[in-house]
Structure 1
Amino acid sequence: MFVIFGAAGPVGRASATALRRAGHPVRAVVRDRTQGAALAALGCDIAHADLNDAQALARAIDGAHAVQWLCPVPRAHDDPAAAMRATIDAGIAAFHKAPPPSLLALSDYGAEQPEGTGITTLFHYLETRLRGAASSLTFLRAAEHMHNWARVLPVALERGVLPSLHHPLDKLFPTVAARDVGELAAQLLLDGATQRPHATPRIVSVEAAQRVSALDVARTLQELSGRPVAAHAVPRNEWNAVLHGAGLGERHARLIVDLYDAHNAGRIDVEGVSERRFGATTLKDELAALLPRAAGVETRARSVE
């Protein structure tokens, strides 16, 4: 039995789908009962669990021979770092109560660094706490997800300006599609389920075959939409205001600011000891998939005005 946490999200859903297509039994763990229908249609067993309830998590992984764990950053929480650390601690308690033979944890580029990387420091905490929690342990570190651009696509389509916190605009950075992360995770789960126990975690990094810049994102969006789109580097002193305007609280905004400061200083990248894998999805593929929804958001926004 493969147990997938975060199965309703794009990464977990891709993992569950790949495993079910290969004929493997999957238990999909979701927080909201309404999220289970599509996964049940794939043939998944559905488990509901509060991610902060160690007992519920232990029940969800009972009998598993491999577990995929995703610990989400709680966007709406006043103190997302404290909330995520509490969720990580609950997961650790569950894994010690019902140790899975094989465990894959979804992590981030830069997770080897203990400080100064904003949100990524939470994945350092996750990796540090997880060591020793399973006989076979894999950290799958993903580059920045391409679908993060969905948040600003309606603005870019309406105003012709793509705001970016990546500075300078021509700086290349790694990205990856969520489905590529999920499908690779499924492959690694299958590997881990057949591997012998080992003392040190396996570290795998995944990104798309080509790195991109904010200029590349704007050019690709212009090509796909047929509308003029220019990349705009949001001035550093305006970042907090922009993030607050997007609905982020003070502490969450601070985590994002620190993350992009680290990105722009070249501190977020592949650790030399990791295995490198590359996803097949291109930036153009991902933006083409995101555009219809972004155009719909833009249309609805105009109708309200």
Structure 2
Amino acid sequence: MIVIFGASGNVGKATAAALRGAGHAVRAVVRNEQQGADLAQLGCEIALADLLDRASVSNVLRGADAVQILCPVPVGDPHPAASMHRMIDMTVEALRANPPSRVLALSDYGAELESGTGITMLFHALENQLKPVMQNLTLLRAAEHMQNWARVLPVVLSTGILPSLHHPLSKRFPTVAAQDVGRLAAQLLLDHGYADGLRTVSVEGPQRVSALDVARTLSEVIGREIKAHELPREQWTPTLHRAGLSADHATLITELYDTHNAGHIDVEARSELRFGTTEFSEVLASILPSNATAAR
């Protein structure tokens, strides 16, 4: 039995689909039954769990041969770091009490850095707490998800402007489709030929992009001109607050982009590097509202 935490998300659902397609038993862990509807149609066993409750996590781990761990950043939480640290603590305690033979942890580019990465420091904490507990641990560090640009699409479609925290606009950065991360995770979970120990794998898309590239691709997909705009540093925090992020969450985001823009976040030298196959244009087309291309 392979247990997938966060199975209703873009990555988890792709992992579950790939594993079920290969004929493996999958226990899909979700927060509520509604999230499990599509996964049940794939033939997954649906399990409900609260990552802030150790007993709940321990229950879904029973009988697991392999586990895919995801500790999601709590959206709308006034103190997301504190909540995520509690999730990590609960998950690691449950794994220590009932260790499966293999664990794959979904992580981020830059998780090896000791400080200054904002929200990525939470994945640094996850990795460090898992390392002494699991004998066979794979860290799958993903580049920025292409789907994350969906957050700014309402602004883009209403104004024709793509605001970017990536500075300068010409800076090329790694990004990856969430479904490619999920499919690779499934392959790594099934890789019995890898010796027991710690394995670090990084994944990004077919090519790196800049904010200018994103705007150009959006223009092509939508059928009207979209211009990239370098959001001034002093506007980051108020903009994130208007988007509904708490003060603590906004700080985590600004710290991350400061470090990213300084060029300190990339593939760790000792990591295996893999590449997804999904192009940015495919993802953007899939996340646009159905009427977005009507005004060509």
What TM-score does the superposition give when structure 1 sets the normalisation length? 0.94
Residue matched to 2:196: 197
| Structure 1 portions without partners, runs of 5+ | 300-305
| Structure 2 portions without partners, runs of 5+ | none
Q: Secondary structure at the match of 1:55?
A: helix
Tell me if 1:166 matches 2:154.
no
CA distance, structure 2, for counterparts of residue 50 and residue 213 of structure 1: 37
Residue matched to 2:74: 74
Residue matched to 1:271: 268
Report 1:125-140 matches (<5 A).
Answer: 125-140=125-140
**RMSD of aligned alpha carbons:** 1.5
Q: Secondary structure at the match of 2:283?
A: helix
Structure 1 runs of 4+ aligned residues shifted over 6 Å read none
Residue matched to 2:42: 42
Q: 1:218 aligns with which of 196, 215, 220?
A: 215
Quick check: 2:222–2:292 contact (8 Å CA) kept in 1? no
Quick check: 1:100–1:135 contact (8 Å CA) kept in 2? no
Residue identity in the other structure for 1:241: P
Tell me if 1:248 matches 2:245.
yes
Quick check: 1:154–1:294 contact (8 Å CA) kept in 2? no
Q: Deviations over 1:219-268 (max 9, x none)?
A: 00001111110000000011001000000010000000000001100111
Q: CA deviation at 1:196?
A: 4.0
Q: Secondary structure at the match of 1:24?
A: coil
CA distance, structure 1, for counterparts of residue 264 and residue 75 of structure 2: 24
Tell me if 1:259 matches 2:267.
no
CA distance, structure 2, for counterparts of residue 294 and residue 149 of structure 1: 18
Sequence identity (%): 60
Quick check: 1:105–1:139 contact (8 Å CA) kept in 2? yes
CA distance, structure 2, for counterparts of residue 63 and residue 251 of structure 1: 38
How many pairs align? Answer: 295
Q: Deviations over 1:23-79 (max 9, x none)?
A: 000000011221111111100001111111112111111111110001100121111
CA distance, structure 1, for counterparts of residue 196 and residue 16 of structure 2: 24
Residue identity in the other structure for 1:123: F
Quick check: 2:177–2:278 contact (8 Å CA) kept in 1? yes
Q: Secondary structure at the match of 1:123?
A: helix
Q: CA deviation at 1:292?
A: 2.8
Q: 1:291 to 1:9 in 2, by over 3 A?
A: same
Q: Secondary structure at the match of 1:119?
A: helix
Residue matched to 1:207: 204
Q: Deviations over 1:186-226 (max 9, x none)?
A: 000001x454422xx10000000200000000000001111
Q: Secondary structure at the match of 1:216?
A: helix
What TM-score does the superposition give when structure 2 sets the normalisation length? 0.97
Residue matched to 2:231: 234
Residue identity in the other structure for 1:220: T
Q: CA deviation at 1:133?
A: 2.3
Q: CA deviation at 1:294?
A: 7.8
CA distance, structure 1, for counterparts of residue 100 and residue 194 of structure 2: 13
Residue matched to 1:303: none
